[in-house]
Amino acid sequence: MKRSTRLLALMLSMLFVLLLASGCGGGTSGSEATSQASAATGEPAQNDTPASDDVVTITVFSPNVDRSSERGLVEEMLANEYMAEHPNVRIVSETLENESYKPKLKAYIASNSLPDIFYIWDQPTWLDPVVEAGQVEPLDPAYLTDQDFTEASWDGVMYGEECYGLPNQSEFYIMYYNKEIFADNNLEIPTSFEDLLAVSKTLRDNGIQPCAMSGKEQWLGNNLIWNMMIQLDPEGFPESREITANRTGRYADYAPFVDAQSRFMELVDAGFFHDNWLNADNSEMYNMFASAQTAMMYFAGSYGFITSNLPEGMEDKVGTFLFPASANDPGDNGDMCAQYVTCYSIAKGAPQEAFDYLYWMMEKEHYTKYCWDHAGQLTAQDVAEYVSDADKAGLKGDILDMSNSVNIAGGLIWSETLNSTFVSAYTDLLSTMWSGMIGVDDMIAQLDTVADECYEEIQNG
Amino acid sequence: MSKTFGNKKTIFLMVFPGIALILFVIFIPILISLYYGFTNYSGFAGSYSWVGLSNYIRIFTKDPQFWNCLKLAFQQAVIRVIIVDGVCIVMAIAIDYMAGRWESLFRVVFFIPCTISVVVWGKLFVQVFNPSYGLINKLLNGVGLSSLARNWLSDPNTAVWSVHFMIIWIAFGWSFLYYYAGVKNISGDLYEAAMIDGCSRFKMYTRITIPLLRPAMEVCITLDVIASLKQMEIIMLTTNGGPGYQTRFLANYIYQLAFDNNQYGYGNAVSVIFVIVCILTMVLLRRLFAVINKD
């Protein structure tokens, strides 16, 4: 009896330890899950090649969850094509939705276990700490000399003299509008900021919410403020970066900064944004515009994005225009900053095959062509040679024309040039100002204080 | 048998799994948090340095957001105890007394909110509070009270109270269950004896039912206070702490510090203070209950 009880107790302890150990195991990657799921259904899975001792497995981590459209489809197609040409390489993709992707990426970074190729934002708040932690391999852009990357797209991926990422996306922000709503209300496309306010008033008077906007995470509103700042100071706007990164001055003394914030609040006070904009995420913003509950929407110029979930017949009703500058601004409507905010990087210790694949993938005839043809999205490379006559028509052509009318390209948005604490504090202050709790002057004064503290923190190590 | 279970080795082997679980899941992480709280670790693998007490000094001298979060948590705890426990006691007594054959139905109706995922509730309430097409504003407009319609989750005057309302709504079910079980466990003989002595219904409930519900009250109040302090999910799903940081609870703040701001060390320091606050609160509650029970 005594012996059997001890045996039982020992078995319970071992079971407990096994349960604990199983809880520490890694999760299933998206592609592995696809393989497992397809095994259950008996259908062939993507990225499923026979195992072999000579096969090198490359892991890819990306926030492009939808593998049937947009950039997710492009990644999937390129991976399959590469594996077909290189049977000794197996590419396993893991994907997570954007807001889940960020914490998991940080978890990988913290545990020094990054996948071989990963998608990351090239702002100093993201890429720099990873480079400083020695977890990223330097890349050689010479492999891609003839691939028509925009010169400015390299800014964010350089750390010192070395390159740590290949830029994969260009973003410029435009206004989408519903042609039918405009026509029904006898409205013309506004050509100045003052016209825009007048259009907004007419729409509100007629019971229509003017513009869908995502205010929950503040970054989109901050983009619009940045857009307006550039229109107010097209030559000198880099000063905002110097004020932030090196505290060469104060925001309160930089008039375009103050005026841009004030102009944004003018839009808020005029009811330009839809009623629930402060609590709206990108999905709500998109749905408000797609279901014609708002007449306009401010977002990245991307044919793939805008057509991702439009109701039938809606695409023909969508038009575009550039966010208008004020009639008295030094700049014009095309003065905005195309941003190159994301890149693919390679983790330290990744196999040579990961480098080979990434350089192959980022060749223009692969990534840029596929993004344009299959996702309607622009990259950091010139897409002109892949634009067909059919592409030049309709909404796709409109967005392409918009991209060509952007006057200023490249460079980081000013708020990303300090550290994450500053970004977080600034977004809190924006949210506070937008909800009316503090005024523009008060917000800017507090922002200067926060910037001083963050700058001091960085200087003191 | 008693000899077997009196054997110390056997006792150790049987108790060890539970102790190991508590040790590795609770105590050791707290100690690790305590360590990182003395550093400027960013959360990225790489070097960091010992900064001593500067994180903790910053919490008490330079961090108004921490105190706002704490105030919000205690505000929620007080409101929750008063409203949730008060209403649940009354409802438990009322249903026991008056519901008759509808008693089961009322039990189910009150408990249903607890069976629905908090994610569903969060998304539902975002729609209910929507200023354009939400249920609340539609109702107000429908009855001619459109002047009361608000942007409930974005207006700084209403966001905090909207959040309190959501949390309390979801909390009713469990508290009701405890009080209902407590009411059902009171012997009918006590009521009969009271009626024979000519006691009114009101006196029966105030002199018999409520005093005998004290154990249930202690459990519910303790659970309500704990839940208020560690509130996170509803905030993340609805306001995300906004407008500004008006509706940010401590758990959300710690998450933001560690994972958004890359201030892992400072976030750990805040979490250590949070644990201390929770422990002190529980100790005070136990002392309060002990004093009340003594009386």
Q: What is the pLDDT of residues A357-398, one digit of tens each?
A: 999 999 999 999 999 999 989 999 999 999 999 888 889 999
Phi, psi of A110 (to 5 degrees): -65, -35
Phi/psi region, residue A339 (left: phi>0; alpha: psi -120 to 50; beta: rest), is beta
| Best A19, A289, A420 residue to mutate vs chain B (most B CBs within 10 Å) | A420
pLDDT score for A315? 93
Strand residue runs (E) in A317-417: 318-321, 337-338, 342-346, 408-409
Are A121 and A127 within 8 A, CB to CB? Answer: yes
- CA B26 to chain CA mean position, Å: 19
pLDDT score for A49? 44
Return the C-alpha torsion angle A167, A169, A175, A176, nearest 10.
Answer: 180
Q: Is there a contact between B13 and A130 if contact means CB atoms under 8 Å apart? A: no
Between these two residues, A39 and A108, which has the higher pLDDT value? A108
The 8-class DSSP code of residue B62 comes to S
- Does A13 score more than 80 pLDDT? no
Q: Is there a contact between A1 and B4 if contact means CB atoms under 8 Å apart? A: yes
Q: Provide the angle, in degrees to the nearest 10, between the axes of the packed helices B159-184 and B118-128.
A: 130
| Best A159, A279, A293, A460 residue to mutate vs chain B (most B CBs within 10 Å) | A279
In angstroms, the separation between the Cα of residue A1 and the nearest Cα of chain B is 8
Residues in chain B: 295
- Does A46 score more than 50 pLDDT? no
Give dist(CA A386, CA A364) in Å, integer.
10
Q: Is there a contact between A437 and B244 if contact means CB atoms under 8 Å apart? A: yes
| Best B5, B55, B138, B260 residue to mutate vs chain A (most A CBs within 10 Å) | B260
Of A253, A226, A224, the C-alpha closest to A238 is A226
Give dist(CA A139, CA A346) in Å, integer.
8
On the question of a cis peptide bond just before residue A324, with omega within 30 degrees of 0, the verdict is no
Q: Is there a contact between B240 and A216 if contact means CB atoms under 8 Å apart? A: yes
Tokens describing residue B21: 């679980």
Q: What is the mean pLDDT of residues A325-353?
A: 91
Amino acid at the residue B281 = T
In angstroms, the separation between the Cα of residue A198 and the nearest Cα of chain B is 22
Set of chain B residues whose Cβ sits within 8 Å of the Cβ of A109: 43-45
- Helix, strand, coil % over all residues of chain B, rounded to 5: 75, 0, 25
Q: Is there a contact between B13 and A13 if contact means CB atoms under 8 Å apart? A: yes
pLDDT in tens, chain B (295 residues): 566 566 888 888 889 999 999 999 999 999 999 999 999 888 876 678 899 999 999 999 989 999 999 999 999 999 999 999 999 999 999 888 887 788 888 888 888 888 899 999 999 999 999 998 899 999 999 999 999 999 999 998 999 999 999 999 998 888 999 999 999 998 888 888 888 988 888 888 888 898 899 999 999 999 999 999 999 999 999 998 888 889 999 999 999 898 888 889 999 999 999 999 999 999 999 999 999 887 6
Q: What is the pLDDT of residues A239-289, one digit of tens each?
A: 999 999 999 999 999 999 999 999 999 999 999 999 999 989 899 999 999
Instruction: Label the pairing between strands A158-159 and A166-167.
Output: unpaired
The pLDDT-based confidence of A214 (bands split at 50, 70, 90) is very high
Tokens describing residue A14: 């071992």
Q: Strand pairing partners for A59?
A: A92
Please count the CA atoms within 13 angstroms of the CA of B119 that sit on its side-chain side. Answer: 0
pLDDT score for A22? 53
pLDDT score for A410? 65
Which residue in A1, A103, A431 is closest to B243 by CB distance? Answer: A431
Between these two residues, A167 and B102, which has the higher pLDDT value? A167
Strand residue runs (E) in A228-386: 294-300, 318-321, 337-338, 342-346
pLDDT score for A35? 36
Q: Residue B64, Cβ neighbours under 10 Å: how many?
A: 8
Q: Strand pairing partners for A174?
A: A299
Set of chain A residues whose Cβ sits within 8 Å of the Cβ of B20: 16, 20
Give dist(CA A440, CA B38) in Å, integer.
36
Q: Is there a contact between B242 and A429 if contact means CB atoms under 8 Å apart? A: no
Q: Name residue, tokens 């899975």.
A: A45
Tokens describing residue B185: 């466990």
Residues in chain A: 461
Strand residue runs (E) in chain B: none
- Does A34 score more than 80 pLDDT? no
ipTM for the predicted complex comes to: 0.81
Return the C-alpha torsion angle A376, A381, A386, A392, nearest 10.
Answer: 60
pTM for the whole structure = 0.84
Phi, psi of B265 (to 5 degrees): -65, -50
